[in-house]
Structure 1
Amino acid sequence: MTNIERYTAFDVDGEGGNPAGVVLDADGLGDDRMLEIAAELGYSETAFLFTGNRIRYFSPLAEVPFCGHATIATAVAHAERFGVGSLALQTKAGEVVVETRYEDDRLLATLTSVPPSVRDAPPSLVSEALAALRWTEADLDPAMPPRVAFAGAHHLVLVVSARERLAKLDYDFEALGALMTREDWTTVQLVWPGPDGYHARDPFPPGGVYEDPATGAAAAAFGAYLRELGVTGRVTIHQGEDMGRPSRLLVDIPASGGISVSGTGNRL
């Protein structure tokens, strides 16, 4: 019998975070059954770990190549069962190494992404995304231009100049979902640069989810975006606040190579 576990990742002092399903013994499960389990759970992602540390991720509607919060959840679940250490996960996007350790009596997991990339976002696609979001170009921060960033999955990055704009998320689910599916964007990373770090919201209509409360893959991609702008070191992303599920993602941006994202996890 398949053992389905439920965890939350990137919580803040034991509260909030993003729920994920975790199956540590997925050998023998086919695509249809994994998609069925993900749909039954209803979380934005469920992770399935196979022999050899091969891992796959399913939303309620489709498979995605990489999911950050489900990776953190899987690492925490694995550490609880087998002890802390290093896992070299074989994702469809490439190898993702995740380290677990105890910090302040909590399990903390750190994933390091595949080599990231950033490319220009064509103005026509940005205009289409803004229309679906019911935003305008005047809402965007001119110092941080739209880009498509990748660190295992593709994300359109849009940075706004006012927290009030980010707080008012009321988008056209069908229109944005169709655009994202067509362009292979897993989420849209909507960001406001605040005095205490970056505040983010992530619509995820291709997965059948209106909004994701903590998106590790998008955080890694945003780290790559920031590096293109000359930022290195650690930054904090606050997500899920407007959903009542506060989440904290710690992003370490080296001068080169993969982007690291850290967070805690809890069994639900």
Structure 2
Amino acid sequence: MSLMTRPDILRYTAFTTDPAGGNPAGVVLDAAALDDAAMLATAAGIGYSETAFVTVADRAARRFRLRYFSPLAEVAFCGHATVATAVALAERIGPGPLLFDTPVGEIAVDTAQDASAEPEGSVTATLTSVPTRSRPASDTEVSASLAALHWSPGDLDPALPPHVAFGGNEHLVLAVATRERLAALDYDFDALAEVMRRHGWTTLQLVWREAAELFHARDPFPIGGVVEDPATGAAAAALGGYLRALGALPPAGAFTIRQGQDLGRPSLLRVEASTTDPRVRVSGQAVAIAGVRASTGEGDV
């Protein structure tokens, strides 16, 4: 990567207003000059679970092309990096609707400034996913995943059966019966990565349902070179589609996901789904991480 192509890298953490919480993402708002190798090297140098790259920008039309890279590979869609990018753009060109062209299709994002939010004037971004889908997981998929997690079938919640759900990426959804089981997550990194590569899953969406409108989640991400995501917007969208498929949505269709507490990076994701629209809306805030210099993998930027 030459000096001419070194990008200006922003760092935001999504689904929080606390720089010490949420899920950090790299954001490159002008990546037009970067090729695939340069984007991968930049994402690897940053070291976050994903970095979003704006490769085409039409600020007048508020339309942008996004690509996403983990430290190891390109990812088709990433919810938390989408929210981070939307907030970064809204802070620069003003709040309002945005349209992102992504590898999985068009993603509309509404951004709004909330004078009552803390900190005052924080921007909230609400993405609308591509159409979701969900299917029962096979016995083979479940047994291999449980073995890598060091879990047993008795750890699962029988009211929420295992599914493979899609909200831009595919995720295996496993619901546990207790918060204690979720908190004690200690899995075999290499074994789970192999299961996920075999089936094409991006994360596992491990959840505990505290109430109809409140879930706790943990998302291992070994195939991206990251032990766990503190907040996962794409998996949140997939969970909305999963609950719709089961007929288990709350009456109003809205619920909250708390994620990241067990990592010391608490995150809050708000999800809205309906029985008439296959898409799901996921909302959250994001905040810049100050005082951090990013690396492209070839030296500081």
Smaller-chain TM-score range? over 0.9
Which residue, out of 73, 83, 88, partners 2:94? Answer: 83
CA–CA distance in 2 between the matches of 1:254 and 1:4? 37
Which residue, out of 157, 162, 173, partners 2:189? Answer: 173
Residue 254 of structure 1 corresponds to which residue in structure 2?
274
SS at match of 1:51: strand
Residue 299 of structure 2 corresponds to which residue in structure 1?
none
Structure 2: state its 5+ residue gaps.
Answer: 1-5, 58-63, 290-301
Contact 1:154 1:185 in 2 (8 A): yes
CA–CA distance in 2 between the matches of 1:208 and 1:187? 11
Contact 2:18 2:287 in 1 (8 A): no
Indicate the larger mover: 157-166 or 52-61: 52-61
Matched, 1:159 2:175: yes
Residue 265 of structure 1 corresponds to which residue in structure 2?
286
CA shift in 2, pair 1:12/1:6, >3 Å: closer
Question: Which residue identity lines up with residue 236 of structure 2 in the other structure?
Answer: A
CA–CA distance in 2 between the matches of 1:49 and 1:172? 34
CA shift in 2, pair 1:252/1:146, >3 Å: same
Which residue, out of 111, 120, 141, partners 2:157? Answer: 141
CA–CA distance in 1 between the matches of 2:48 and 2:222? 13
CA–CA distance in 1 between the matches of 2:230 and 2:18? 15
Matched, 1:16 2:17: no
Residue 71 of structure 1 corresponds to which residue in structure 2?
82
The alpha carbon displacement at 1:211 in A equals 0.5
Which residue, out of 202, 214, 217, partners 1:200? Answer: 217
Larger radius of gyration: 2
Residue 105 of structure 2 corresponds to which residue in structure 1?
94
Deviations for 1:105-131, whole angstroms, at most 9, x for unmatched residues?
Answer: 210000000011111211111000000
The alpha carbon displacement at 1:13 in A equals 5.6
The alpha carbon displacement at 1:9 in A equals 0.3
Contact 1:68 1:216 in 2 (8 A): yes
SS at match of 1:44: coil
The alpha carbon displacement at 1:229 in A equals 1.8
State the identity as a percent: 59
Question: Which residue identity lines up with residue 126 of structure 1 in the other structure?
Answer: V
CA–CA distance in 1 between the matches of 2:192 and 2:162? 16
Aligned alpha-carbon RMSD (Å): 1.1
Q: TM-score, normalised by structure 2?
A: 0.87
CA–CA distance in 2 between the matches of 1:106 and 1:82? 15
CA–CA distance in 1 between the matches of 2:157 and 2:270? 23
Structure 1: state its 5+ residue gaps.
Answer: none
CA–CA distance in 1 between the matches of 2:154 and 2:181? 11
Matched, 1:128 2:144: yes
Which residue, out of 51, 71, 76, partners 1:46? Answer: 51
Contact 2:17 2:286 in 1 (8 A): no
SS at match of 1:181: helix
Residue 225 of structure 1 corresponds to which residue in structure 2?
242
Contact 2:68 2:78 in 1 (8 A): yes
SS at match of 1:75: helix
Matched, 1:62 2:73: yes
Matched, 1:113 2:153: no
Indicate the larger mover: 98-107 or 202-211: 98-107
CA–CA distance in 2 between the matches of 1:172 and 1:13? 31
Matched, 1:215 2:232: yes
The alpha carbon displacement at 1:250 in A equals 0.2
Deviations for 1:118-173, whole angstroms, at most 9, x for unmatched residues?
Answer: 11211111000000000000000001000000010000000000000000011000
Work out the number of aligned pairs and report it.
268
CA–CA distance in 2 between the matches of 1:13 and 1:266? 7
